[in-house]
Amino acid sequence: MGRLAGLRADYAVLRNGAFRRIVAARALTQLGTAASPVAVAFAVLQHHSASALGLVLSVQSAGFILLCLVGGVTADKLPRAKLMVVTETCRGLSQLLLGVLILWGHAPLWAFMVLATVNGAGSAFSAPTRQGMVAEHVEEGRRQAANGLLSACQNGATAVGAAAAGLAAAFFGPGWVVVADGLSFFGSALLLAGLIGTAPVRMRTQGLGVRNALGMVRGTPWLRSSLVFFMAFQLCYYSVLFVLGPAAMRGGHGAAAQWGVVVAAFSAGLFSGALVAVHIRPRRPLAVMFLLTLSVVPGLLCLAWAPGPLLLVVAQFCAGLGLSCADTLWMTVLQDHVPQEIFGKVVSVDWLFSAGLRPLGYAGVGFLAAVVPPAVVFAGAAAALAASVLAAVLRNRDLSLAPLSPKPVGGAAP
């Protein structure tokens, strides 16, 4: 009975009507967002080259990176539900227009690039706004369960959307898949429109701009050291995994299928880890978050030593599980210790430091692999990650989570 009562308490956040709307809206858009890249890739390659597809993907990432901080500032100044409705509507219109152009059969490359940039820019606004809405509508003691459930729904929708995308594009055509993605954004906007005017009134943050957010990050030891760790993690893990991982499968029969199974195992781990995070309550969440990222080390060592596909699949499942738990703990720490009036800016700085280094990491790993055996790169990345975790923990021996102050520092910001 006690265990059953604990499970009920963990999922009690689902009785929150506002949170249910946030989860439903996110699951709906993520289905389309996971399917759309597959359809867009097929559509681009029908009339253009692989390098053209690379340009489309690059400008979409650039749209997010360039406007990430602007999105965070806007999320803190405007009512978040209204901002989400506008953002989701704009992204829906861009995807709907792209889908119509693909169905028309004469979509020029510049149209793919412009609309991909609009979609990436929209995500720069929606990402910090959505996380701020969770903190606004869910009380402090239930935010970790809320983040875990939101992440589980997101990862589940990603798996379903990506799996269905290929079949849908083959049977109905890529244009209809992109149109469906656009309609999913309109559905999300309708769901979130019901939250307009329901959030608590936030303190106004005049003078609190990007420079102030960066100053607050520099002046908060636990946040500063965490962001430095995330930069190292992006360079040492995701760049190495997604550039050299597929290449490590080469040479054998069914290499592409093997890598697909590895990626599926990683995704399954992400989904499972989000559900596990609903039930754990560590006393020192930041320390546990750092240590959970060590779950990726066995997978890198498996790629270095190539012990066999089964062990690699298990290792990648564990990597996804650990990373999903760590991500949920991190977002909960931010929501509990960063004031609402500066939350969007701080989250945007977090993502800028993380996502902003991925293109550099991809290019650097590709160059490094040309002069160093891949096995050495995998092993070196594993060692660097382990050392980064140790350094992060030692740098924050007490791991005290001092809250950030929303007071302007260093003068007015732009």
Average pLDDT, the chain: 81
**CA of residue 203 relative to chain centroid, distance:** 28
Q: Tokens representing 139?
A: 């009380």
Question: 2 pLDDT band (50/70/90 cuts)?
Answer: very low
Residue 241 has pLDDT above 60, yes or no: yes
CA distance 246 to 262: 10
The pTM score is: 0.76
- Please state, as a whole number, how many other Cβ atoms lie within 10 Å of the Cβ of residue 46: 11
Whole-number pLDDT of residue 256: 55
Write out the DSSP string of 28-67. HHHHHHHHHHHHHHHHHHHHS-HHHHHHHHHHHHHHHHHH
CA distance 385 to 282: 22
Across 224-233, average pLDDT: 87
**CA of residue 405 relative to chain centroid, distance:** 26
The residue type at 196: I
Tokens 């760049």 map to which residue?
239
The candidate with the shortest Cα–Cα distance to 86, out of 76, 75, 102, is 75
CA distance 210 to 124: 14
Tokens 């290792």 map to which residue?
315
The residue type at 269: G
Q: b/e string for 157-196 if b means 16 or more Cβ within 10 A? A: bbbebbeebeebbeeebbbbbbbbbbbbbbbbbebbbebe
Q: Which of 95-99, 247-251, 301-305 has the lowest mean pLDDT?
A: 247-251
Share of residues in the chain with pLDDT > 70 (%): 85
Inter-residue contact 126 to 89 (CB < 8 Å): no
CA distance 209 to 203: 14
Higher pLDDT, 284 or 411: 284
3-state SS string for 117-176: HHHHHHHHHHHHHHHHHHHHHCCHHHHHHHHHHHHHHHHHHHHHHHHHHHHHHHHHCHHH
Angle separating helix axes 50-77 and 80-104, nearest 10 degrees: 160
Across 66-77, average pLDDT: 85
- Residue 396 to residues 177, 284, 315, Cα–Cα distance (Å): 47, 12, 28
Q: Tokens representing 153?
A: 């729904």
Inter-residue contact 317 to 266 (CB < 8 Å): yes
* DSSP tag of 199: S
Q: b/e string for 92-120 if b means 16 or more Cβ within 10 A? A: bbbbbbbbebbeeeebeeeebbbbbbbbb
Q: Which of 27-36, 206-215, 250-259 has the lowest mean pLDDT?
A: 250-259
Across 223-241, average pLDDT: 85
| Ramachandran region, residue 99 (left: φ > 0; alpha: ψ -120 to 50; beta: rest) | alpha
Residue 6 has pLDDT above 60, yes or no: no
CA distance 365 to 234: 12
Whole-number pLDDT of residue 23: 93
CA distance 38 to 178: 9
The candidate with the shortest Cα–Cα distance to 128, out of 42, 68, 190, 66, is 68
